[in-house]
Structure 1
């Protein structure tokens, strides 16, 4: 029997919320109603007893445990010593998506949620065989999530109206030409029709 969990990728205040450094990503999320659609998916999950796991990113002030020079994007972001620091508002999950009982898997390096975290063990301890992905971004995080999950043997579903990336036309191409090779694609309104 298939058991599902929802993985919420980087829906944090410092990424797509009120203290973001990515206003273009917030604008695309607003245009596509990504937060509202993700909330709909999470309501359905919780009412069905499906675990919700927030995959978050944060950095220590001293950057210990984080590779900071192996990616041009990370090197640029981390020039700001306050970027996504542990214990700050920026690393908090958007309040409209968090509920007591949700789980969190935090990482301090890289772009995807499995490598170097306990996410795989958490999913296996819950007997999960299928993951449903919502969040950001299609540029890096959602792609990495899908690839790693498939490599680890999970079936993957990506909720097409609860994910985003920039620029928007590129993100849509990723959904069509990359995610479509890795995952089932459904809308928030139909995700739970695909089974639990």
Structure 2
């Protein structure tokens, strides 16, 4: 784990953005299309930790981006080149644009200052979306990655962030995947090689409001 000084330097408010990945009702909510993942996100405390981090970011003046995965009712523009996408088409709850399934899930709060970025394709909120341009225009250097799942979207987001030149910070207890023992293995053997891994409490200690100049 990084020291407070190291982590605090990375999480300078003017150059830090917090991203929630697929923390939407149809994924982690009570009526999830993926009930096992939803249960793990809630029982592990990961979803509650995401909410804590978002609240701290709002209080500390750090930009928040909520990345939502959805699809059109007719499926146009969606990927069909992997088993995962075909399975999603058969789920009882579909992540349809405009539906309750693609709203950010409680207890995470969304404010007017947040960006909610929606994608119709792919496995990552950074690949082929407006997120990279938003991050650069915000002056982002460090991206805090939270949410689900540790199986697919989280590692894709971290890899894309690193490939685009950002420093990725992953609060290990603010992400979730299935089965339960997969997430720590993914963190230890993969994410720790490319991201700064910390705990929610460690990140919160660095997100406390401090004197800062306006965001560029």
2-structure distance, mates of 1:165, 1:103: 24
Partner of 2:214: none
Kindly report structure 1 stretches of 4+ aligned residues shifted beyond 6 Å: none
Partner of 2:16: 4
1-structure distance, mates of 2:207, 2:155: 22
Q: How many residues align?
A: 195
CA contact 2:33–2:91 (8 Å) conserved in 1 = no
Q: Secondary structure of the equivalent of 1:168?
A: coil
CA contact 1:61–1:81 (8 Å) conserved in 2 = no
Cα 1:9–1:195 shift into 2, 3 Å: same
Structure 1 residue runs of 5 or longer lacking an equivalent are none
CA contact 2:148–2:154 (8 Å) conserved in 1 = yes
Structure label with greater radius of gyration = 2
CA contact 1:147–1:182 (8 Å) conserved in 2 = yes
Cα 1:145–1:105 shift into 2, 3 Å: same
CA contact 2:172–2:187 (8 Å) conserved in 1 = yes
CA contact 2:177–2:183 (8 Å) conserved in 1 = yes
Partner of 2:89: 78
CA-to-aligned-CA distance 1:64-87 (integer Å, 9 cap, x gap): 1111x2010111111358611101
2-structure distance, mates of 1:26, 1:81: 15
Correspondence for 2:146 among 130, 134, 153: 134
CA contact 2:119–2:125 (8 Å) conserved in 1 = yes
- Aligned counterparts, 1:136-175, within 5 A: 136-175=148-187
**TM-score normalised according to structure 1 size:** 0.94
Correspondence for 1:17 among 5, 14, 29: 29
**TM-score normalised according to structure 2 size:** 0.85
CA contact 2:60–2:207 (8 Å) conserved in 1 = no
